[in-house]
Structure 1
Amino acid sequence: MVEVLIGVGLLVALFVGFNIGGSTTGPAFGPAVGAGAISKFLAGVLMSIFFAIGAWTIGRRVVNTLGRDLVYDPGVFTIETSIVVLFFIGGALFVGNYVGVPASTSMTAVGAIAGLGVATGELNWTVMGEIAIWWIVAPLVGFWVSVMIGRYVYPTLNSWIAITQTEGALVEFDRSGVLPVPQAGPNTTRREFFGTIVLVSIGCLMAFSSGTSNIANAIAPLYGAGVSMNPLILAGSAAVAVGALSIARRTLDTLGNDITDLPLTAAIVVAVVASAIVIGLSAIGIPASFVIIATMSIVGLGWGRATRTATVTGSIRGEDETNVSVGALAAEEPGEEAPDIGEEEPEDIPQASDLFNPSTTGRVILMQNLVPVISTLGSYLTFWALFAFLW
């Protein structure tokens, strides 16, 4: 009977891992896919590889934290309770993936475990409070840093980086040797090739960071119940790979195309801001809300670019100094000269909606808050009822 329960628990854990792959691939590689740097398939492959590396190395520490430290008595993680917790984690994440919105796996998993802890009176409120505070602060930091970059710094960065997207493949493979060697495409400039390498490398780093924190969300309850860690990490990583290569296509579209128009320079900015915050949180032992930080960075940069204003000194329609909306300049391509302020044709000026999609953003933020709430309340009410009336 115990073997059957462990088998059921493992199947549910694999379902959670599948949804983690679908949920976290978008924030890691959505900017690169949206900018046309890599394909969705290659994004899934890279996500699978670097997630597994992060899970096998640093991820063990986070598994121990969620499986042992978040509750006072790890004994509350029986095989039966672990199955219920994983069911709510996987079910809530599946809701987000089904509608194409990547939900925070850390918030969803910690919420489900917290529901168990509250229902049994074993939740470590000190640890929970520290995690919750950082979950509020970190996305706000990512959002406002990206807003400031988009509003005041982006044009300068764009001119420095000067990455233009040319026609044709960015990267081709030289197959004359034993192993294929990547090289720049026939029309790819040196700066474009370098920028693409940087962007994809940052995505790989974010995938690694996701593995260090998110593998615990799939296997920590079973580890707390006494199942060996190494087989769980291997099985969880394999399930993440399946999700990254399949259901992640929806979240890659949402994060790469639907929220904001994301050229290559902007994609690099988003990846740097998000990965820096995630790594910083991991360094102090906080399970990072990877999806929320990356999403808010994308939203912040898009909003900052769409609402940027500039103070122009000179004689413009008889005024010495005028504050002008420069949505058109927020979307300029390197090497193009913007028309003089006031001389643009109305149809040539991009509107804010061209750079920042409020309706999609509202849907993303709503679902990213709703999914952890579903997980937490569902877990708490279920365990409250079970312990009150059955156990």
Structure 2
Amino acid sequence: MVEALLFVGLLVAVFVGFNIGGSSTGVAFGPAVGSDVLGKLAAAALMTGFALLGGWTLGREVVAKMGGEIVPQSEFTLAASVAVLFFVGFALLVSNTFGVPASTSMTAVGAIAGLGLAHGSLDAGVMLEIISWWIVAPVIAFWVCAVIGRYVYPYLDAWLKLDRSPGALVELDRDGGVPRPRLGPNTTYREFGSTVLVVVVACYMAFSAGASNVANAVAPLVGNGALEMNTGILVAGGAIGLGAFTIARRTLDTVGNDLTQLPILAALIVETVSASLISFLSAIGIPASLAVSATMCIVGLGWGRATRTVTIGEALSGGEAPKVSVNALAAEREDEVPKMGEEAPDELSAQDLFDPGTTGRVIFFWMLTPSLSAIASYALFSADII
């Protein structure tokens, strides 16, 4: 019976990691694949390696927090661990069914909190710390990207010039005895450096995704001692890699294309800021949502770009509020960046970056899935069914 239950738990853990790999690969490497910098196979390989690295390093703190600090390790019987993992799998099902990025981290914490409330063993201090960061982190993401969008983005766009030139980026020089790599005929050093930057940022995003999400797949099993920490991380990393090499090939087309509707520089800024924030939270053991942080980065960056059409004085005097738009994230490629307040509003606002109804629905599900997880978990464990 115990062996069968452990087998079921491992299957659910692999299912969770598999889906995390499928979705996170598209988010991390969508810009790189969409701009033909990397192929899907190379993106999957890099995702697997860097997600495992993130889990092996910073991810340990999150596994420890979720597997023994929110509630004592003694609460994680094998049956309870499997039940918590089922709640995480249910969150992924809800996310896929309704097309919204439900947070597996928040859902997993909700399920564990429900277990602790039912048995009177929840550490209120730890939960308060986690919830506080859930509130603060999206605000930080918004304002960091808003400042970048308003004051820094146009200069980065004018300097980096991330457009690809025709022809190969790098080719082999076979004139000598030993072939040597050299830049392609149309490749400049700036273009080469920008292309390397795209890959580096994607790998950084994969690292942060692994650091944050490994715990979602195996923390309960590690908490009850069914798996050792290293074994659990390897299982989760392998499952993420499996998803990266299989279903991520489709999500690289869907999620990747959606992401690269933003200019590639905007996508890189969003990835860098959200990955940095999630890596920091993982280092201090806070399970947090990469999707929430990335979305707030997009909104903040667009708002910051749109507010360049007015000066601070005009904004404070009660002028018309700028519209946040996709075009607001596209800077003019000129040597001279327009000064604050001199960019034409019609150049920075055409269609809204996000539909208010859609945004409200996404936020609603972000709050709903962990709440339902906590309530269902509390009901299940209060009834002493398992």
Short-chain TM bin: 0.7 to 0.9
Instruction: Return 5+ residue gaps in structure 2 as ranges.
Output: 313-318
1:126 Cα offset (Å): 0.5
Query: If the length of structure 1 is used for normalisation, what is the TM-score?
Result: 0.81
- Could you tell me whether the CA contact under 8 Å between 1:164 and 1:333 is conserved in 2? no
Task: Tell me how far apart the structure 2 counterparts of residues 303 and 368 of structure 1 sit (CA, whole Å).
Answer: 22
Residue of structure 2 equivalent to 1:316: none
CA contact (8 A) 2:61 2:283 kept: no
Aligned twin of 1:109 = 108
In the superposition, relative to structure 1, how do residues 63 and 15 fare at CA in structure 2: closer, same or farther (>3 Å)? same
Once the two structures are TM-superposed, the CA of residue 123 in structure 1 deviates from its matched residue by: 1.1
Give the secondary structure class of the aligned counterpart of 1:227.
Answer: coil
**Aligned pair 1:202/2:201, yes or no?**
yes
3-state SS, counterpart of residue 351 of structure 2: helix
Q: 1:164-212, CA deviations, whole angstroms, 9 ceiling, x for partnerless residues? A: 333456x457598xxx998755544322221221122122122222222
AA partner of residue 240 (structure 2): V
Q: Are residues 259 and 265 of structure 1, via their aligned partners in 2, closer, same or farther at CA, if it must alter by over 3 Å?
A: closer
Whole-angstrom CA distance in 1 between matches of 2:3 and 2:265 = 52
CA contact (8 A) 1:150 1:304 kept: yes
Alignment-derived partner of residue 371 in structure 1: 369
Distance in 2, Cα, partners of 1:182 & 1:240: 33
Write the mapping of 1:1-391 to structure 2, written as runs, cut at 5 A: 1-71=1-71, 73-167=72-166, 171=169, 186-229=185-228, 230-248=230-248, 252=252, 256-258=256-258, 261-306=261-306, 308-311=308-311, 331-335=330-334, 349=347, 351-353=349-351, 361-385=359-383, 387=384, 390=385
Residue pair 2:59, 2:214 contacting (<8 A) in 1 also? yes
- Per-residue Cα deviation, 1:98-125 (whole angstroms, up to 9, x for no partner): 5554332321211111111111111111
Aligned partner of residue 102 in structure 2, secondary structure: coil
Report the Cα distance in structure 2 between the residues aligned to 1:342 and 1:234, rounded to whole angstroms: 53
Structure 2 counterpart of 1:315: none
Residues 364/119 of structure 1: CA separation in 2 closer, same or farther (3 Å cut): same
Question: Which amino acid in 2 is paired with 1:270?
Answer: V
Distance 1:162 1:84, change over 3 A: same
Aligned pair in 2 of structure 1 residues 202, 260: CA closer, same or farther (>3 Å)?
closer
Q: Distance in 2 between matches of 1:342 and 1:132?
A: 41
CA shift, 1:372, in A, is 2.6
Cα shift at 1:277: 1.6
**How many Å apart are 1:129 and its aligned residue?**
0.6
Q: Distance in 1 between matches of 2:112 and 2:276?
A: 27
Confirm or deny: 8 A CA contact 1:101 1:251 kept in the other structure. no
Give how far 1:235 is off: 1.9
**Rounded Cα–Cα distance in structure 2 between residues aligned with 1:46 and 1:154:** 28
Q: Distance in 1 between matches of 2:258 and 2:185?
A: 29
Normalised to the residue count of structure 2, the TM-score between the two structures is 0.82
Equivalent position of 1:318 in the other structure: none
Identity of aligned residues (%): 54
Residue 144 of structure 1 and its aligned partner are, at CA, apart by: 1.9
Deviation, structure 1 residue 148: 2.6
What residue identity is the alignment partner of 1:285? G
Match of 1:319 in 2: none
Task: Find the aligned partners of 2:180 and 2:3 in 1 and give their Cα distance.
Answer: 47
Q: Distance in 2 between matches of 1:101 and 1:249?
A: 19
> Which amino acid in the other structure matches residue 105 of structure 2?
S
- For the aligned residues, what is the CA RMSD? 3.8
